[in-house]
Amino acid sequence: MENITITDNHIHVDPHNGEGPIEVAKKFQRAGGNVMIIPNKPTWTVGKLCSFEEAMELVIKCVDKINTDTDVKAFAVVGAHPAELSKRVENGMELEMAEKMMMGTLEDAQRLVLEGKAIGIGEIGRPHYEVSPEELEAHNRIMSYAMELAADADCAVQLHTEDATEEHFLEFARMADKAGLDRHKVMKHFSGPMVSVDENHGLTPSIIATRTVVTEGLKKGTNFLMETDYMDMLSRPGAVLGPKTVPRRTKELLRNGTLTEEDAHKIHVENVEKIYGIDLGF
């Protein structure tokens, strides 16, 4: 168990409103974690005047700092959270203009991937709250465009959507097919235990690392990743799950025999390398 590599597939760091990249990485490492996949936070959480480009560049700087100053391996995922569109529409921007802005941001995200500064596009998708039919259509177009860009760059996509059912997974799988993106490179962030192919239609669930969800997922296989969706906000300590959760949960399941070392390696190393096209060196 000492040599088990552990990856958190969706964990945020915030040098302005949270503990910051080094402290989060050290907490993760002390608990037994090795690899952090870090999406940029939404612009409004970083600062009032923060641009999309600044939000993406910030997470890249945070990843570089973690890689330089700690033994944790960190990788950036860049994109535009679907709530970015909603915020701009609520503030009076025309929907068409806001949609074009989002698509331009995704093109910038693809460029950062092609430059080797990030390993995927995300989190992108559609809101987990109700919006107008017109706005929902815009979100779907943006999500489809993100998949097209990812297909061109041969990279992964992290989706933020409503709680996804089997029907939602099938919808996203068909989007991926139309975009020419391999289904397994599409990850449903904050997923439930949708691990069987009948449920996820070939997409990759990035399941939230609660004991119940991970245990249920393991009953169906190991075709998933684990995440905390840690927000790193001093005003919301520990939300969504704390940075120590994935290492602690993995070790707990190893100790009680629910998870084997081979399964842990598959989830935390093999799946990560295959989906993102990277070599973790473990």
- Using one digit for the tens of pLDDT, what is the confidence trace for 88-130? 999 999 999 999 999 999 999 999 999 999 999 999 999 999 9
Q: How confident is the model at residue 3 (pLDDT cuts 50, 70, 90)?
A: confident
Going from the C-alpha of 174 to that of each of 38, 161, 200, the distances in angstroms are 27, 15, 12
Q: Which long-range contacts (CB under 8 A, 24 or more apart) does 252-258 make?
A: 252/211, 253/214, 253/215, 253/218, 254/1, 254/4, 255/1, 258/215, 258/218
Taking the C-alpha atoms of residue 102 and residue 110, their distance in angstroms, rounded to an integer, is 12
* Local structure of 123: helix, strand or coil: strand
Q: What tens digit of pLDDT does each residue of 223-244 get?
A: 999 999 999 999 999 999 999 9
Asked, as a colleague might, if the bond just before 123 is cis with ω within 30 of 0, I would say yes
Q: What are the residue boundaries of the structural domains of the chain, listed by start? A: 7-276
Taking the C-alpha atoms of residue 107 and residue 97, their distance in angstroms, rounded to an integer, is 15
Q: Is the pLDDT of residue 193 over 80?
A: yes
Total-model pTM: 0.97
Which class for 136: exposed (0-12), middle (13-18), buried (19 or more C-beta within 10 A)?
middle
CA angle 218, 219, 221 (to 5 degrees): 60
Q: How confident is the model at residue 45 (pLDDT cuts 50, 70, 90)?
A: confident
Asked, as a colleague might, if the bond just before 113 is cis with ω within 30 of 0, I would say no
Alpha helices in 19-82 (DSSP H): 21-30, 43-46, 52-69
Please report the pLDDT score of residue 270 as a whole number.
98
> Any idea which architecture 7-276 has in CATH?
Alpha-Beta Barrel (3.20)
Q: Is the pLDDT of residue 173 over 80?
A: yes
Q: Which residue has the higher pLDDT, 1 or 80?
A: 80
pLDDT above 90 coverage of the chain, percent: 96
* Residue matched to tokens 């393991």: 218
Q: How confident is the model at residue 50 (pLDDT cuts 50, 70, 90)?
A: confident
